[in-house]
Each structure stands twice: as C-alpha cells, then as structure tokens.
A and B are shown apart, each in its own frame.
Chain A
Amino acid sequence: MRLLLSAALIIALTGMFVPVQSSHAAIAEKVTLKKLRDLDFGHSLYYFFQREYLPAIINLTVAQEKKTIPHHAHDSELLLAGMYLAFGMHRQAGELFDRLITDDVPARVRNRAWFYLAKIRYQREHYQGADQAIQKIDGQLPGDMERERQLLLANVLLAQQRYADANKHLTEINDTSVWSTYARYNLAVSMVKQGNAEQGRELLQKLSEIKAVDKETHAIRDQANVALGYSYIQEQRPEEALTQLRKVRLQGHLSNKALLGLGWAYDQQKDYTRALAPWLELNKRNVLDSAVQESLLAVPYALSKLGKDQRALEYYKNAIEIYAKEIQRLEETIINISSGNFIDEILSKQSSNEMGWFWEMENAPDSAESHYLLGLLASHAFQESLKNYRDLNILRKNLQEWTHNTAVFDTILETRRLAYAERLPALQKNIERINNNELQAKRDQYDSEIKRIFLTDDLLAMANNEEKEQLQTLARVKERMQGLSAHRNVDAAEEKHRLLLGVIKWDIASQYGPRSWALKSQLGQLDEALKQNSQRSAKLMLAEKQAPQRFEGYGERIDNSRQRIVTLLQLTDQAQQDQQRLLEMLAIDKLREQQRRIDSYLTHAQFSVAQIQDKASHSDEVSKP
C-alpha cells in the first residue's frame, strides 16, 4: 500500500504556521512511500490532508485510545501535535512536542519537534527559548523545512534586536525566497528605526533593486522605495527621497503614500508648485485612505505657501466637510460593529470546513470598516482571535450534532430494551423446554435397557416390529393351546409353535451384529441430539444474559456525555461572546484611533481657516484708510 513518510507530513504541517507558505508547501509536497500498517492512521491522514483537523484529531485519538496504531506511535504523536497547533491548541501541542524530544525518539522526529517548539515559542514571543530550540536541531531538516528554519532563526534574531547577527545570518543563507526578502525588509526598517540609518538604508537599497517578477516582489520593491523615501524626508534629504519615491508604481497599493511623500519632498525643496501635483492627484482618490486624508490638508497648505489664500480657504473648508463626514462615518461604523455583525461578515467568506486558514485580505468585506481596519485584520493577534471565534462556531456545531446523536442513541437503546422484554418470555420458555431433564432420563433408560439386552443375550428384545407382531401372535397361540391341552392332543401344534418361535429367534440371532450396532448407533444419535440441545440451551442462556449488555451501561454513559455536552455548550457560548466582544473592542479601539487622527486633521484645518480669515481681516484693516 502507498503511504507516506513523515517528511511529507511535516511539510504539510509547515503550512499551518506561516499561512502564505502553506499553499506553496502543499504544492511542493510529494509523498514518499513507506509501509502504512495501520488503517486508522491512514484514515486520520485522509482528513488531515483535507485540512479537516477536528475529525482528523478525533479519529487519531480514538485510534490511540483503542491502541490500533502501534506501528506509527511517534509519527501519530507528531501529527497530533501539529494538528493541535493548527487547531489553535498551542499548549497541548507544546506538551506533545516536549514529549518527543527525548532520546528514545528517532532523531528525525525529535528534530521536527524542536522545530515546532521553536515556532510556538516565537509566536508566544519567547524568543530566547525559540533560539535555543532552533539550536537543538541536529543536522539539516528535510526539504523546505530547512529553509523555513533558517528564516525562523532570522526572525528570532530580529525579534531579539540582534540586528547584526540577523543581517549576517540572512547574508549567509543567501535565500532568495519572498520570505527571506520580507525578513530582510523587516531587518532594514528595524535598523533605520534604531538609528542605524545608513546600514538600514543600504539593505533597503538592495531590496529596491531586486528583479520584480511577480505581485509580491513588485510590492516589496515599492515598500523598500517608500521606506527609503520617507527616511530621507525625515533627514531633510529631499533629492534622494524624490529619487526613491518616483520609482514606486503609480497603480500599486503604496502609490498613495509615495505621492504624499513626493509632495513633502518638494515641500522641503520649497517647490510648492511641484508639491501640489501629487497632492492634487491624491485628492481625487479614495478618501478612506490615510494618505488621501492627509493630502486634503497638504493641498491648501501648499496653496497658502504660494500666496493663494482664497483657494486654500476653499480647500480647507472642503477638507473640514470631508473630515466631519469621515468622523461621522467612523462613529456609524463603531455602532455597526457593536451590533455584532462585523465578525460574522468577515467569517462569511471563509470555508466553514477548512481549518487552520489565515484570513486573507482578499476576503475583506467591501466596507469602510475593513478599509480602516486592514492593519488590524492582518495582525497575528487578530487572526488568532478570529480563528478562535471560528473554531468556537465549529465546536458548537459539533456539540449540537452530539446532542442530536445522543437522543438517537436513547431511541436505539429503548428499542433494544423493548425488543428484549418482548422476546424474553418466549426465550425463557425455550430454555426451560430444553433444560427439561425428562429427555436425559429417557436416554438413560434406553441405555440401561440396551446394556441389559447385551448382558442377558435377550434376543427377543432385539426383534423388529414385524417379528414383535409374530411373537405376540405365537404367544396368543400358546395360550390357547394351553387351554385346549386338557381335552385334545396339541402336540403337533406345540411342535409347530416351537418351530416357528425357533425360526424367529434364528432370524434375530443371525442379524445380531447389525441389530446391536443399530441400537448403539441410535443411542449415539440420541446423545448427539441431546448435546446439540444442550449447546442451544447454552446459547439461549448466553443470549438472555448478554442481551441486556446491548443496552445496560450505555444509558449511564450517554447520560454522562449529555451532561458534558450541556456544560460544554454553555462554556462555548460564553467564550464565543467574550471572543466577539474582544474582537469588537480591538476593532473599535482601532477606529477610535483613526477618529482621533482625523480629528487632529480637522482641528488643523479649522485652525488654518481661522488663520487665513484672520490674515484677511487684518489685511482688510491695513488696506482701510
């Protein structure tokens, strides 16, 4: 049978952690053959490969409980731990992986356990522990896992702010994948933020020059150029900022930020006319974007610098109107989120069966809230919470199914109980009939008679029916002859009688062998029939005894389970409400933050209007005689 090596399994598991890599890993995976001796293990894999982790976990734990997969003990533990991880059960996964890092576990399994422990620790922000776990891996991991391990190490070093080590490591591994590129980008930005601007920019410069072959590499190039541009703006180096920002694609999702930055770079050169061009372009774009919102202030600012206060005033007033509307829209969005539809709206676009997904931007509802919340929606913490919420939905559905099934179990048991009660009297009657000792007594009687016949050579007892009739006739003749003997001579008749009796005895004696065998054989058949009867009786008695086992005991187990279901359903509902509130709170906090930002724009615009009006009134006063 075909089956698979753990390597394939682990490659598939790899996908659980780093979402975008999962699809690549799945494509890259090619099963290697290994004898799969336990069907139950294969059955769990069937669900696992379909990313249906709940049935996969259940089947595997049932098989473990029933001890039906002895040949895959370590692999099934590894698989189970991986699935726990995919199902958001980090603690259980960690405990299982911990159990797999002992010396009696094969190195290939132990290495993978260390790898996953490193990932869990990294996710839990226990970076030093993650680093230690990576160092424990002995030799190279198979396939793509090795590359992922190296990138994980880079991210761990980065998280520990060991930038020089991270840089050195990334240079050494010379990985050209998009994940390595992301890691290098993060490293570069962290360096800039930490004050090591030159080195950070050097890295960004390299990223801005990578060959863009697909959507992702184009995005990274744009990202690097925007980051470089803004870092130059912060250092008042507009010329260099302009060079970088001009490289950003006009239609890419970063073009708004690039246009805004271009304006600020021109502003630093005091070239307000040129600054106006990108900002006016931005003014035409979607007002939900923060760069567009900022441009609403930037345009009148530039106009004001150019001495066109009247036009600036119009733009400021327009900005005030838009900001007020946006603040109102955000307020309505907050109210909408509080009503509880937001989370379900987000989840509605996901498959209800598949687990372990990471919610993707493409699935964002086309609404104002998703635009404002993109950053939050993409965050690991939010995704994990969203998955928890989705998992709770799955748990509730599962528990509701069991509520229904346990009711069916009750019906089955009741039917069995009734059937048993109906059949019991007939059953007992049968048993009684079979167990009746009369049959055995009769058999014993026959046995004694046969023994007596053989012992006494009672030939007449072996007569057949015809002979018995003849013997009875002869006996009657004899009786008559005795009555007549006083008056008549019956000698001739007596001689004839003796002769006839002798003939019968002769016939019987000549068949003594076959007749005695027939007697013994009949007794044997009788014994066999009695034995069968006894066996039937035993079976019936066993059935009578065992039948209640088909319903007794289950009732209690079902009742216990039902209580557990009720309790767990209550806990699930409560946890889901809490999770929903938490997600809503995070979203609302984010929206409030946006509100505050727009509010500060609004204040700025109002202040600028007041300034211009004040300036105008002063100039009026000056111009008055």
Chain B
Amino acid sequence: MKILLTIGTCALLFCTSLFAQAPANETAATATTAATGTKDMRGLDNQIQDLKKEVLKLNRDLFILEEELLFPATSQVAVFLSVDVGEFFKLDAVTLKINDKVISNYLYTDREIDALHRGGVQRLHVGNLKVGKHELVATFTGKGPRGRDYRRASTLVFEKLSDAKYLELQIVDSEAKHQPVFKIKEWE
C-alpha cells in the first residue's frame, strides 16, 4: 500500500504546481497537522494494541472457563473433521449421530472447504457423554468421482472413559481405488 501511495503522490507533485500555489504558511500548517495526526495515530494504535491484547487474554480465560463449566473432561466428547487431498470427494455436508440421536448437521461453505483442504481441522461437535460404550455414525454427503452425488456413512463404537474423548472423522483419497475413504479415528 505504501508503494501505491508513493505512485499517487509522485504524479500529483508534477501536476499541481502549475496553477495552485499554496501559501508557505498554509503548507507549514498542513505539515504540522499531519505530524500531529501521525503522532496521535501512533499513540492510539499502541493503545488499541494493548486493548486487543487484553481482550484476547480475557477470551482465552473465558474459553477455558466455558469448557470446564460446560464440557468437563470427565464427560467431554469432541468430534473433529479433516480432509486429506480431497480430489475424489467434494464435501457438502456431514450429519453426526451418537447413539442414534442426531447431534450435528453441518453444511460447508466454499471457504470452509478450502480451509480443510489446506490442512485445517474443524471441531465439528463438542458435547458430554456418560462413561461407557457409545456408537458414533457420521454420514458424509457431497460429490464423488466424476461429479456424481455421493453419500457414505462411517460407524464407530467407542468406549468413553473418565477422561476427554477425541474422535476424528477423516476423508482420505484412496489413490488405488480412485475413491474417497471415510474413517473415524479415536485419539488417545
């Protein structure tokens, strides 16, 4: 942006001098105002940076508090989603069921899909479950190879113990089969 500004300024320098001659005292006044403005701007910018820092700290503390309060580790179950390559499948939506109850229906935007393709991992769901055996069913909807409508489901029976449970839905390309593969991984 600095570069662009320089270009604009340079062109004006050449063309405004033919008729318009600002009085010297006015030019000086403008320069002083500009300097004051820059000084104020720097001061305010520093103030805003401090403010941002404090707000971020507050957010960090409140996020931790929220998680402790709403999803304590003893009952927490989090479901993540990642995409590896994704050439054979364009994801549109995911439906999650735990113990036959729908807990999430998520429709993806292009921006989110792009973020997933670039290595981002989405936290699709976080909730609470009792200790014991549970069943997770994830249904993936989208476009499969050659742009055809594609719908697949993956199931996992998992044991919820007394610490937080992390599950990851993985959409992986199978080069050998030229098909997408849907997996559910349990994280220790």
Contacts and interface: CB of A to CB of B under 8 A. Distances in A.
Given A90-B49, A405-B62, A600-B21, A579 B14 contact: no
A322 to B, nearest CB: 14
B103 interface: no
A1 B60 CA distance: 27
A385 B170 CA distance: 42
Interface in A235-250: none
A290 B51 CA distance: 40
Given A50-B111, A582-B44, 11 more contacts: A3-B119, A43-B120, A46-B120, A155-B2, A189-B10, A227-B10, A230-B11, A375-B8, A412-B70, A561-B65, A564-B54
Contacts of B187: 39
A257 B10 CA distance: 12
B15 A227 contact: no
Nearest to B47: A575
B20 A597 contact: yes
Top 5 nearest A-B pairs by Cβ distance?
Answer: A42-B121, A46-B120, A230-B14, A2-B84, A4-B119
A442 interface: no
A519 interface: no
A390 to B, nearest CB: 11
Nearest to A226: B11
B59 A398 contact: yes
Interface stretch (B33-41, B89-97, B131-139, B146-154): B33-41
* Among A18, A58, A88, A226, residue most surrounded by chain B Cβ atoms (within 10 Å): A58
A91 B15 contact: no
Contacts of A342: none
A92 B122 CA distance: 27
A260 B70 CA distance: 69
Given A1-B168, A45-B121, A582-B41, A58 B82 contact: no
A572 B119 contact: no
A493 interface: no
Nearest to B122: A46
B41 A193 contact: no
Interface string A533-557: 0000000000000000010001001
Contact of A43 (B19, B20, B40, B123): B123
Interface in A1-36: 1-4, 8, 12, 18-19, 29, 31, 36
Contacts of B37: 582, 585-586, 589
B129 interface: no
Interface residues of B, number: 77
6 contacts: A39-B121, A57-B56, A223-B11, A230-B14, A388-B45, A558-B65
Contact of B52 (A12, A19, A89, A290): A89
Nearest to B15: A257
B58 A561 contact: yes
B3 A92 contact: no
Contacts of B48: 88, 388, 391-392, 575, 579
A496 to B, nearest CB: 65
B65 A557 contact: yes
Contacts of B66: 405, 409
A561 B11 contact: no
A222 B20 CA distance: 24
Interface in A337-378: 358, 374-375, 378
- Give the dominant DSSP class at B's interface: helix
A572 B20 CA distance: 42
A39 B61 CA distance: 20
Interface string B67-102: 011101000000010111100000000000000000
Contacts of B55: 395, 398-399, 568, 572
Nearest to B80: A39
A65 interface: yes
A375 B1 CA distance: 11
A420 to B, nearest CB: 15
Contact of B80 (A42, A179, A264): A42
A42 B119 contact: yes
Interface residues of A, number: 106
Contacts of A395: 51-52, 55
A66 interface: yes
A46 B49 contact: no
A179 B117 contact: no
A215 to B, nearest CB: 14
A239 B5 CA distance: 29
Given A31-B118, A49-B115, A554 B65 contact: yes
Contact of A589 (B1, B13, B34, B68): B34
Contacts of A409: 65-66, 69
A480 B6 CA distance: 131
B52 A31 contact: no
Given A189-B6, A597-B20, A402 B11 contact: no
A291 B15 contact: yes
Contact of B115 (A39, A50, A89, A558): A50
A507 interface: no
Contacts of B6: 186, 189
A564 B3 contact: no
Interface string A207-245: 000000000000000010011001101100000000000
A379 B5 contact: yes
A378 B15 contact: no
Interface in A41-69: 41-43, 45-50, 54, 57-59, 61-62, 65-66
Contacts of A554: 65, 68-69
A497 B97 CA distance: 76
A92 B53 contact: yes
B175 interface: no
Contacts of A392: 48, 51
B119 A36 contact: yes
* Among B44, B59, B80, B166, residue most surrounded by chain A Cβ atoms (within 10 Å): B59
Given A45-B118, A601-B20, A89 B38 contact: no
A309 interface: no
A43 B80 contact: yes
B24 interface: no
Given A378-B1, A412-B70, A4 B118 contact: yes
A2 B85 contact: yes
